[in-house]
Structure 1
Amino acid sequence: MERCWYSGRYPNMAYCQFEVTHWPVEHYGYFYNGDSYIVLNTFKDPGSGELLYDVHLWIGLESTPDEYGTAKYKTDELCVLLQNKPVQHREVMDHESALFRSYFHTIRKLEGGADSGFNRTKPSEPEYKTRLFHFKGSGRKIEVREVALNKQSLDDSDVFILDAGLNIIQWNGTTSNAFEKNAGRDFLGKLKSERNGKATTETVDAPVPDDHPFMKALPGGALEIETEEEDKSPPSMHRVSDATGTMEFRQIAVGKLSRSKLDTDDVFVVDTTKELFVWIGRGASIDERRNSLTYAHNYLMATSHPFIPVTVVQEGAETKNLLAALT
């Protein structure tokens, strides 16, 4: 696939195959791990009333380099169309920033790509792929993701829904909270509505017997669980400059980062290890500006924290998080 999905508050979501196509409103918050997306948030400055923008490039963990590259190109086109006003952000699946998460009441992360996701075997057909969804979170922020169809996927503190086509079952863990249960109930109703009311639904509270249809649909083999090692790398600052006639990317500080090192004529990459900022000076060249996010992305891919959020900011429009990282 060669895809990118666009997506104001609520974000304008869209999908493109080397072109911009709007993502259906009813699917806002749906993200497939095999695709890349663009989410545009439009809002008014409370003081001046001027329209401002945040544009987020979301990358699925199974999205290809071609997809990411196309989405990046389309993001740049969008920023030029909006007179370079948007603040750009890079978001990687499962490592989204708090700002990105704030746009959606529920984020649904699904396996595959949008084409396969919306052209599945009909629920009434024997070949329909049974799926298991995991609901986790609290308050107004619930994350829903498709997980392995396996008993080992169950967590007694959360809610799960088994989608077997015309038979849909919600399983409430013994310590799951009311927000997760309500989100599951809403999802259950949506699935039934999509199937013209023909599906039967059931809600059960754990524990349930092994001969219950919910448990019988789940194999019991062990699952591989990946664990992340603690990242102990120090903060760092890097300069992107073509002052010598050749584009160069080099480290200029480690540990304690000083705002005085920022030079209006160049671009700087500030890595806090929790979030990365691309600072663009007013006098930075066109090539420095165009290549800044690519350099930042390539740099992160060689670190022990490759998936942290990335924010591109212009000189004079620094975010609170960036200013807090600089002395």
Structure 2
Amino acid sequence: MLRNSTWRLDETNLANFGSELEKEHRKEEGALETAWNYEGSPIGHEPGLWIWRVQNFTLLPVPIKQGGQFYQGDSYIVLKTTQKEGSEALVHNIHFWLGKETTQDEAGTAAYKTVELDDFLDSLATQHREVQKHESSQFKSYFRTLTYLQGGFDSGFHHVEEEEFHTRLLRVHRPSSLQGTRTQNAVVISEVALNASSLNAHAVFVLDTGDVVFSWQGAQSRGVEKAKAAEFISQLISERNGKGEMVVVEQNTGGQKAFWDALGAAEEEAQVDDTNDEDDDSTTADEEPAREHRLLRLHSGMLGRLKLDVVAEGKISKDMFDSKDVFILDVSHEIFVWVGRDASRKERRHGLQYAQDYLKESGLPPFTPICTLLEGGEDELFEAQLEGWQGW
């Protein structure tokens, strides 16, 4: 069932969640969440990838074999834990992912649970907000493919209906933004309208009828898209205990009648688009024109009022940061909120909100990733933005 989205992008930052709660209370609340705190839980103790899907204000674990599949009507939390090179220390990255049709209460649950998980991890995690089709490169690197599926759990405020299988058409496409990156062989798989007008000669499409899964290969599609479509279909059949058959159909060749019948269209009447249409809304912040880095300092001014001042533009170095304050680092494709260990409670509380306000005024896209990290918990992506980084 298609749902109208009721969440607002500018209301999904972590600054709006948990700000009235004491840290110790949040720590206790985080420890009560059985999604990550259960007997023998490896979370917080060893490297790994964990995914949860929001349903009725609670979190349901997603099997790792379904990693990378996201319902656009839902919200998710993804935790990636790695071991820091040359150290026994663990680095935690928490991402809350918002589908374009998720509801405000689901988005809010994902954001609040992200805070709880961070508290459970002793506030050492880096937190990220991810928006469908505008995910950060770091998030994309966790999965071989990103798959967007229609539907999702209904909100806890509404009646819940069981998800039923339906014939669906999915587009397998490698965005040009991934070319030349370490994720250059990754693709995005998006469910599209079930009709012939969705087809494009520059992509591969998967028509899933349940018993038969077609791989329709556009005449100008890439080899990586064909390979990833075959991989995706094999995974589908495996999840169905081997039930189903894969059929490959090449554009402009014979033997396509079964495909067109399943699509509910007549081949001779179908007009396949031959233009190379990169999805406009799949543009990421990484594709924005590069500009100089900018560092801003959030601190208490006269009468205790918070002030945000520009510290430097261009080359940013470690010695520009001060443990007594909160800093916002704008690197064009992402905004970091760095929280000094001695920053005031007020500065800590409002850092993300100031970053959101800055984003609105900066001219950057509203979906630009924002992440917060504490002094001493910096990750490689943050470190790479500074000149001559050698640790704190």
The question of a shared fold, defined as TM-score above 0.5 by the shorter chain, is answered with yes
Structure-2 separation of matches of 1:322 and 1:24: 30
| 1:307 aligned residue | 367
Show the counterpart of 1:147. 192
- Which has the larger displacement, 86-95 or 130-139? 130-139
In the alignment, which of 268, 283, 295 is matched to residue 327 of structure 2? 268
1:121 and 2:201 matched = no
- Deviation larger for 81-90 or 176-185: 176-185
Pair 1:205-2:250 in alignment: yes
The answer to whether the Cα contact below 8 Å between 2:197 and 2:272 also exists between their aligned partners in 1 is: yes
User: Where in structure 1 are there 5+ consecutive unaligned residues?
Assistant: 123-127
Alpha-carbon distance, 1:96 to partner: 1.9
Q: SS at the partner of 1:11?
A: strand
Deviation string, structure 1 residues 6-33 (Cα, Å, up to 9, x no partner): 8976411112433343222332211122
Contact 1:53–1:87 (Cα < 8 Å) also in 2 = yes
Does residue 252 of the first structure (1) align with residue 310 of the second (2)? yes
1:22 is the counterpart of 2:61: yes
Alpha carbons 1:231, 1:304 under 8 Å: kept: no
Q: Distance in 1 between matches of 2:97 and 2:305?
A: 27
Please identify which structure carries the higher strand content.
1
Note closer, same or farther for the CA distance 1:233–1:63 as it changes in structure 2 (3 Å cut): farther
Q: How many residues align?
A: 320
Shift of 1:91: 2.1
Q: Could you tell me how far apart the structure 2 residues matched to 1:163 and 1:106 are? A: 17
Measure the CA separation in 1 of the matches of 2:131 and 2:360.
12
Q: Distance in 2 between matches of 1:240 and 1:30?
A: 38
Give the aligned partner of residue 183 of structure 1. Answer: 228
Mapping 1:73-222, distance limit 5 Å: 73-114=112-153, 119-122=162-165, 128=166, 130-137=167-174, 140-195=185-240, 197=242, 199-208=244-253, 212-216=257-261, 217=263
Distance in 2 separating the partners of 1:70 and 1:308? 21
Residue aligning to 1:12 = 50
**Offset at residue 44 of structure 1 (A):** 2.1
Q: Secondary structure of 1:73's partner?
A: helix
Q: How does 1:8-87 map to 2 (within 5 A)?
A: 10-16=48-54, 17-87=56-126
Cα 1:245–1:42 change in 2 (3 A) is: farther
Mean Cα deviation higher: 209-218 or 90-99: 209-218
Does structure 2 conserve the Cα–Cα contact (< 8 Å) formed by 1:233 and 1:273? yes
Give deviations 1:207-261, integer Å, cap 9, x for gaps.
Answer: 2469724345266699997477966886544433345566636352585365455
SS at match of 2:58: coil
C-alpha deviations, 1:75-121, integer Å up to 9, x for none? 11111111122122222222222222221122212223246999433
For 1:261 and 1:248, how far apart are their aligned partners in 2? 19
| Distance (Å, rounded) in 1 between the aligned partners of 2:304 and 2:192 | 47
- Residue by residue over 1:191-210, the C-alpha shift from the partner in whole angstroms, topping out at 9 and shown as x without a partner, is 33444555444211122469
Counterpart Cα distance in 1 of 2:236 and 2:330:
42
CA apart distance, 1:288: 2.4
Between the aligned partners of 1:74 and 1:64, the Cα distance in structure 2 is: 15
Deviation, structure 1 residue 326: 5.3
- What is the CA distance between 1:266 and its match in structure 2? 1.8
**Partner letter of residue 250 of structure 1?**
L
Moved more, 225-234 or 175-184: 225-234
- Overall identity of the aligned pairs, in %: 35
Q: Is the 8 A contact 2:297 2:311 kept in 1?
A: no
Matched, 1:283 2:320: no
Q: 1:295 to 1:29 in 2, by over 3 A?
A: same
> TM-score, with normalisation over the residues of structure 1?
0.79
SS in 1 for 2:57: coil
Amino acid at match of 1:297: Q
Deviates more, 1:60-69 or 1:275-284: 60-69
**Which amino acid is the alignment partner of residue 12 of structure 1?**
W
> Which has the higher relative contact order, 1 or 2, with Cα contacts under 8 A spaced 6 or more apart?
2
Q: Which moved further from structure 2: 309-318 or 270-279? A: 309-318
Task: Check 1:296–1:106 CA distance in 2 against 1; reply closer, same or farther (3 A cut).
Answer: same
- Residues 251 and 69 of structure 1: CA distance in aligned 2, closer, same or farther (over 3 Å): farther
* Distance in 2, Cα, partners of 1:249 & 1:53: 30
